[in-house]
């Protein structure tokens, strides 16, 4: 088995292989537990993707780290400036001194990891792509559209505006999800206030547009991969929402594109990672950037775990587009107006790789 097969050669069997994998409800972890010793063809990525998996830069870079301490004191202007600079230059930054204790973050990782490491029968009950209950377990959000699958499983839980049905949230992580939901809302609100101020807007601008209300939490599980040279943890993509807040364990593997280079995001104990979504780049009229990022296949002997919260507007009927305050003769609107419902439908019906919603809604 190798990477010399082209997508055209693999295509006739791919639909059947996808259906078999989906119907098994195993996920990637289930494949490993069943005694898998090599990589199924479904997960082998094209040579052009695989050849780009090492950072190109000779000098190691890192994304900015912002200290949030004193955000409610006379240090606030400095915090706003650092957040805004990071959002403009990288679209990614780590935050420290954010008021969430490290032991709380560790418990969150442990609880979501415990779900993924249950026997396959316990997880198969909620294996689904859509769920009115607000809870779904699946492998690869774009499995039905992608050229190749990536080596990860996901537990997705709706956390706002209404928390998912409590009895549907897996018992292994139920208490953590419930207890931390208010914390997730508070931190997201703080970041949106700082980002609004960084654009010179009213601090409540993003909050007034319901950008804090719709939230999804994802527990992303990346098992050790038998052939990490042939696949990837998650392909290069940008996030569709307003902002994303990510907690990663200490294994690493996340990379962010900055210019022409891929930058390794080194784990910092107790830190959280914040990135700008496509929707905020659009609303900021390209002041802030939504950066491409990816996760390499896990080469560690331990599984990699991350907990991600995606923030979206709950208002699906009002038109969204660049803020009027950021449009001028010198800088006209780069994007057209659209409804969030139309916007997200475009996201969910396309392949993740290279899918940036910014490109669909240019003026």
> Which DSSP string corresponds to 130-170?
--TTSEEEES-TTTTT-SS--S-EEEEEEEESSPPPTTTS-
- Smallest Cα–Cα separation from 323: which of 212, 195, 216? 195
256 burial level (CB within 10 Å; 0-12, 13-18, 19+): buried
> Residue 9: what pLDDT?
42
Examine residue 155 and state whether it is found in any structural domain, yes or no: yes
Examine residue 70 and state whether it is found in any structural domain, yes or no: yes
Q: For residue 354, give its domain range.
A: 7-360
> Residue 205: what pLDDT?
98
> Residue 233: what pLDDT?
96
Examine residue 2 and state whether it is found in any structural domain, yes or no: no
Record the tokens describing residue 9, joined without a space: 């050669």
Q: Give the whole-angstrom CA distance, residue 103 versus residue 83.
A: 25
Examine residue 248 and state whether it is found in any structural domain, yes or no: yes
Number of domains observed in the structure of the chain: 1
329 burial level (CB within 10 Å; 0-12, 13-18, 19+): exposed
Q: Give the whole-angstrom CA distance, residue 243 versus residue 279.
A: 8
Examine residue 102 and state whether it is found in any structural domain, yes or no: yes
> Residue 55: what pLDDT?
53
> Residue 37: what pLDDT?
82
Q: Give the whole-angstrom CA distance, residue 342 versus residue 339.
A: 5
H-helix or E-strand spanning residue 83: helix 76-89
> Residue 348: what pLDDT?
66
Examine residue 174 and state whether it is found in any structural domain, yes or no: yes
The pLDDT tens digits of the residues spanning 250-290 come to 999 999 999 989 999 999 999 999 999 999 999 999 999 99
> Residue 357: what pLDDT?
64
Q: Give the whole-angstrom CA distance, residue 42 versus residue 21.
A: 9
The pLDDT tens digits of the residues spanning 144-154 come to 888 899 999 99
List the beta bridge partners of residue 274.
93, 245
> Residue 59: what pLDDT?
55
* List of the chain residues with pLDDT < 50: 1-12, 58
Q: Which residue has the tokens 């940008």?
A: 238
Looking up residue 41, the CATH number of its domain turns out to be 2.60.120.330
Examine residue 159 and state whether it is found in any structural domain, yes or no: yes
């Amino acid at each position: 088995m190798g990477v010399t097969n082209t997508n055209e050669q693999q295509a006739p069997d791919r639909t059947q292989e996808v259906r078999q994998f989906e119907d098994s409800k195993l996920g990637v972890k289930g494949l490993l537990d069943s005694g898998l010793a090599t990589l199924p063809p479904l997960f082998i990525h094209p040579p052009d993707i695989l050849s780009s998996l090492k950072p190109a830069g000779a000098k190691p870079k890192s994304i900015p780290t912002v200290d949030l301490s004193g955000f409610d004191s006379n240090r606030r202007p400095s915090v706003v400036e650092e957040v805004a600079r990071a959002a403009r230059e990288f679209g990614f930054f780590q935050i420290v001194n954010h008021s969430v204790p490290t032991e709380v973050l560790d418990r969150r990782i442990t609880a979501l990891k415990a779900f993924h490491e249950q026997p396959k029968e316990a997880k198969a009950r909620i294996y689904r792509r859509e769920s009115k209950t607000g809870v779904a377990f699946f492998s690869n959000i774009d499995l039905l559209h992608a050229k190749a699958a990536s080596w990860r499983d996901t537990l997705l839980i709706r956390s706002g505006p209404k928390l998912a049905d409590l009895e549907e949230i897996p018992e292994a992580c139920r208490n953590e999800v419930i207890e931390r939901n208010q914390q997730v809302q508070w931190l997201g609100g703080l970041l949106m206030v700082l980002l609004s101020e960084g654009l010179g807007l009213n601090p409540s601008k993003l909050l007034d547009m319901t950008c804090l209300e719709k939230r999804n939490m994802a527990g992303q599980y990346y098992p050790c991969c038998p052939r990490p040279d042939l696949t990837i943890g998650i392909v290069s993509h940008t996030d569709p929402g307003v902002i994303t807040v990510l907690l990663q364990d200490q294994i690493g593997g996340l990379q962010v594109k900055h210019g022409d280079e891929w930058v390794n995001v080194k784990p910092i104990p107790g830190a959280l990672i914040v990135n700008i979504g496509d929707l905020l780049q659009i609303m900021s009229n390209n002041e802030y950037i939504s950066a491409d990022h990816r996760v390499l296949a896990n080469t560690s002997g331990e599984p990699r775990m991350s907990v991600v919260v995606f923030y979206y507007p709950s208002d699906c009927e009002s038109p969204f587009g660049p803020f009027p305050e950021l449009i001028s003769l010198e800088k006209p609107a780069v994007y057209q107006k659209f409804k969030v419902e139309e916007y997200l439908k475009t996201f969910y019906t396309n392949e993740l790789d290279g899918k940036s919603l910014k490109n669909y809604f240019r003026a």
